[in-house]
Structure formats: C-alpha cells, structure tokens
Amino acid sequence: MLFSCLLLLASACKQPDLGLEVQNPSDAVNLLRIDDLSVRTSLEREDSVRTDELSLNLLGAYNDPLLGSLRASFYTQLRPSASNISFGEDFIADSLVLVLPYRGYYGDLTKLKGLQKFTVYRVTQDFAQSSVYYSNDTLAIESTPIGQTGFIVPVLTDSTLVTGKKEAPQLRIRLNTAIAQEIQNNAAALVDGDAFVQLLKGIYITSETRNNLPGEGAMLDFSLLSGARMDLFYKNSTNDSLRTSFAVNENCTRFTRFNHVYSQQILNLISTPALANERTYVQTMAGLRTRIDIPNLRSWQAGRNILVNEARIIVPVAFNDFGIYLPNPQLNMITKGEDGTLETTPDLLIGDSWAGGTYDAVKKEYIFNVTRYIQKILTDLIVDRGLFIQSTGTGVSSYRVPLNGGASAERPVRFELLYQVLPQ
C-alpha cells in the first residue's frame, strides 16, 4: 500500500527546486518498500536558546507529573509613555501597579491547583538591545522584592475594572510606592525613555507554586508589547485622580529565563539511552529533544545504488499520558553539522508542508518526510549524524509531548522507505 502522502510528493516533486535525486512514486517502476529497519530513540536536553525581544514572554511555574518542576521568569525595561512628564505641585502617590495583560496559558488554573505567587524585583544591572540574551542568562537584582502577590489563581476570562473602565484580563501586582516618590524626585529621568532606564534599569518577575505536588501550576504567556505597563496613580494640588504609565514598548530590552528541575525518571532516560528507546519526550522552553537513529541503514544498502522515492519517520505519541497537557502542534526534525551545531535537514529547507511534523490528532502521531536527507546519506553527500525531533517556538511556548520510542511495545517509531535499485 502506498503511503498517504504520495499525492503531496507528486505535487512537490514537480517543483523545479527539488532537483532530480528523488522521483515521483507514481512514475516509478520496480518500486520496492521496506518498513522493518530498526529505529533507535534517545533523549537529550536542549541547549539554551535566545529569548530576547521575542513576540511572547513566558511567566509561571508548574509541576509536570512526568517531567518535574518548570519555571519561567522574565526581565524587562519600562519607558514613560510620554516625554517631559510633570506631576504638578504637591505630588502624592496613591499606588503603583504593574499590569500584565494575559494572552494564554498551559497547565492547570483550577482552584487550588492553579495557585501561584508572583514576585517583582528591581534590576540593578544595565541591559540593552545591542546585547544578546539567552534562556539561562541572569541579571543582578535587589534582594528585597518591590512587589508581590499572595497565592492567587490567574483568571484569564474576566475583564478587569480600572478607574471605572473595563480592560482585558490582566495580572496586576502592586509595587512599592517608594519607587513612585523616587521617580518624582528625579525630574531628569522623565525627559525620555533613555533617561528613565538609567533610574529604573528594569524589573524581574518570577513566580512559584504553593507546593511541589505534581500537576499544580501553569505557564502563562504575555505579549508585553500589547499593554504591559506600570501605572502610577497619584494626585496633586489640582486633581486627585491622575495616572501616568510606563510601558513596555519596542525600545525596551526584555528576555525570558527558563529553569528546569527534572524528575529522576527523566534524568534516568537521559543518562541511560536504552530506556528512552521505550519512551521519550519533546519539550519547549529549551527543554528536551529526541534523537532518532537508523543504525542499520547503510548495512541494508549493501553497496546498492538506491533511488529514494519516499522516506518517512512516523512517531506515535503516548496519548495516555497527555492529561491536561496538550501536545506540541508542530515539531521539526533537524540534524547536526560537522561542528556539532544543529542545522536544518534538506527536507526542512523546502518548508513545513514538505517536511511534515504537524500533529495528527486523529492518528495521534507525527509524520516527518526525510526523503532528501536519506537520499543524500545513501549517496555519501552528507554524513549521518543523527536526526533530532525538536519543538518549534521553543522560546515562546510551553508545550511538551510524550512519545513512543523505537522499541516501544505498542506503536513504536517506524521508518518507511519506498525505493528503487538502479544499475551501478
């Protein structure tokens, strides 16, 4: 039986940029098929990833029942929403509030399981957009928080009433009003944004769950450029209901930090590759990736001149372990270069529609097209350094998915190959 994506191959192979090293199966003669070559899977940790100035910043803590505890925090600058701000005579600060409009979440926000405490610290170290920041970077902060919530359950569905007007659901954290007085006392810092970040270099926001019980907590995501700000409510000699905002805008440096404390089970899978041949994982947030090897590919070739018509790797998910944690909508299959750095496969260079990796919610599996990669291996155009299943959007999302391994007792990872043997 031909594979379900032959129609895709038929159309894709007509594109002039695909070259002649693969052939449309419908045009092939003496087409052969093999699907019993062994596949070996192993688990490894991702390296840190760049997280500065991304579209989203993650904040939260949750205790994954399978993986362990996961934390995301972020650093950001704030800039005045106008230049040359004046508070008027007889300034009195009423309150200072950090506002973070919610965008989405991953995890559990129900009742006691959703409880988290959010804490804000003042950054004491300069940081700038001219520098590069990664998911394991840190900045110096004051030891005493400038703001903190109690243990609360974030509510992403109800609007918030602010000075009599409804606003989008948001996390609101009251900050120390002594900072407001400091801002008032430094008029030079209110000239423009660059001057302000010399006074308040930035803030760091982190969170924690009430305890470390599995299944508690959630990861929240925020689009900081869409309404994140610090509101200063104050009064002066002429008005008792005034507000000035200091916003996160495109000129603000910001980056996310990730922290993983993996369960012993995961640590065992990483240190003992044979275990990950039964069950493995892929996780965003610079977390986990799965390595794929086909150890007998070259010995199967046995010196023959093989023309690859189609090569696919089918990766079933361990759907009984999903719980409330939805699988990654899209995964990529990549490889490594000569220097050991990750790089795209020849198939992924064409695009996702060719390379595959979209989650099939009906079949509960991912299918990757590796036709060009396998052809180049068999013709010695590239060296086989393994394939790696890695999350897309690893710096801006918090998905994870359990996968069946190459030696799983039920629905193992499969390698399927349509090919022809050509004359030498």
Are 244 and 137 within one domain? yes
Are 318 and 393 within one domain? yes
**What are the residues whose beta carbons fall under 8 Å from the beta carbon of 144, sequence distance 6 or more?**
121
Average pLDDT over the chain reads 92
**Neighbour-count burial for 47-79, b at 16+ CB within 10 Å, e otherwise:** eebebbbbebbbbbbbbbebbbbbbbbbbbbbb
In this structure, what are the phi and psi dihedrals at residue 395, rounded to the nearest 5 degrees? -90, -10
Domain limits at 403? 6-47+263-422
Are 34 and 93 within one domain? no
Give the total number of structural domains in the chain. 2
Are 180 and 90 within one domain? yes
| Residue 14 pLDDT grade (very low, low, confident, very high; cuts 50, 70, 90) | very low
Asked whether the whole model's pTM tops 0.85, one would answer: yes
For 41, 80, 232, 246, 390, the CA distances from 277, given in Å and listed in that order, are 5, 54, 55, 51, 17
| Residue 22 confidence (pLDDT) above 70 | no
Output the CA torsion sign for 153, 227, 252, 286: positive
Instruction: Tell whether 301 is covered by a domain.
Output: yes
| Residue 331 confidence (pLDDT) above 70 | yes
Structure-block tokens of residue 99: 């506002």
| Residue 12 confidence (pLDDT) above 70 | no
Are 349 and 204 within one domain? no
Domain finish residue from 252, 280, 300 = 252
Residue 311 is inside which H or E element, if any? Answer: strand 305-316
| Residue 71 confidence (pLDDT) above 80 | yes
Q: CA nearest 368: which of 102, 14, 15, 41?
A: 41
Q: SS3 of 270, please?
A: helix
Are 317 and 377 within one domain? yes
Instruction: Tell whether 258 is covered by a domain.
Output: no
Q: How far apart are CA 115 and CA 305, in angstroms?
A: 61
The per-residue pLDDT for range 267-320, each reduced to its tens digit, is: 999 999 999 999 999 999 999 999 999 999 999 999 999 999 999 999 999 988
- Residue 8: its pLDDT value, please? 35
The strand ranges marked E within 317-410 are: 331-336, 342-344, 365-369, 387-391, 400-404
Are 267 and 413 within one domain? yes
Instruction: Tell whether 223 is covered by a domain.
Output: yes
CA geometry: angle at 276 spanning 275 and 278, to 5°?
75
Instruction: Tell whether 257 is covered by a domain.
Output: no
CA end-to-end span of the chain: 28
Instruction: Tell whether 139 is covered by a domain.
Output: yes
Instruction: Tell whether 119 is covered by a domain.
Output: yes
Side-chain-side CA neighbours of residue 141 (13 Å): 20
Instruction: Tell whether 1 is covered by a domain.
Output: no
Are 80 and 145 within one domain? yes
- Residue 2: its pLDDT value, please? 36
The per-residue pLDDT for range 228-271, each reduced to its tens digit, is: 999 999 999 999 999 999 999 999 999 999 999 999 999 999 99
Instruction: Tell whether 107 is covered by a domain.
Output: yes
